Amino acid sequence: MANPQTTETTSQVLYGAVKIEVSSASNFAGAVDIGAVNGAKYTEEMKISTLEADNAVDRDIVTEQKGMIEFEQIQMLNESARAIMRGSLDTITNIAGSLVTGQTQTIYSGSWTYNQFVPFEHQNGSGAIIAVTSLTGGTNGALVAETDYFIVKNDDGIYGVMIKDSVTVTTTSQNIVIVYNYTPNASVTYETGGKSAIPYFYVRMTNTDENGKIVKWETLGKCNLMKGDEIVFKKYNADDTRVPIPVSIQVRQDITLTAGKQLMKRTVVG
């Protein structure tokens, strides 16, 4: 039996999966989680060229450097992520359904705290703000908009409420009942073909292990899609009938940035 030749430094080992976010801004403002994927992979590609000399040793240099981010998208992209990655390449048409009035949602005691975002269980298909009829606390009674609570939209384009620590709201140990109206989509159509412009965007990948160590990869260069939809349907009785969609993203160097800081940044915390 062979003897081990070295000792593994466990603090330097990566464990587990990665969260992938996209943003149209280089500072990752409004970054959107793209959701569940399989096989996430980042590859740094380099072209090495040899400079030859008749009377000196040949020298190798990097003449091209770029990155590739690849994965299989398991869930359909949410609209916010799709807009960032595909821009106006597609024509999206929402067909409104029937207005739902008096929808009731209960936020139970112990499941919320002050200034915490609580999403509405239903959203308008058009993406418009939700029309709230009332918020009522089991202890404090009727709450007032813009004083006791705010309607807000998160980075994924989802509307919800944040309840303030106001004069009226004296405790979090109470149920909050929300009544609101919304109009779901009856259907959504996605049409594509005939447009050439595709946006650049930025990608952030975050790995967090059980000890709280965080490793982030953030693209410094601009990203763009390298392929369109590819959908391969599964056998009806396959063990996993989910239909994955391969995604391939190219990361190009941004030559307007400082040399040595044009492609990718990795940050280790903890």
Confidence class for position 1, pLDDT limits 50, 70, 90: confident
Decide if pLDDT at 172 tops 80: yes
Decide if pLDDT at 90 tops 90: yes
The arithmetic mean of pLDDT across residues 172-186, rounded, is 96
More confident residue, 76 or 245: 245
Q: Give the torsion sign (CA, 176, 182, 187, 188).
A: negative
Q: Give the torsion sign (CA, 118, 123, 127, 132).
A: negative
DSSP string of 53-89, one letter each residue? ETTEEEEEEEEEEEEEEEEEE-SPPPHHHHHHHHTTS
Q: What is the pTM of this model?
A: 0.78
Confidence class for position 157, pLDDT limits 50, 70, 90: confident
Measuring CA to CA, how many Å separate 169 from each of 107, 125, 138?
A: 14, 31, 10
Which pLDDT score is estimated for 155? 74
Taking all residues of the chain, what is their mean pLDDT, rounded to a whole number?
94
Which pLDDT score is estimated for 143? 97
- In this predicted model, what pLDDT tens digit does every residue of 22-59 receive, in sequence order? 999 999 988 999 999 999 999 999 999 999 999 999 99
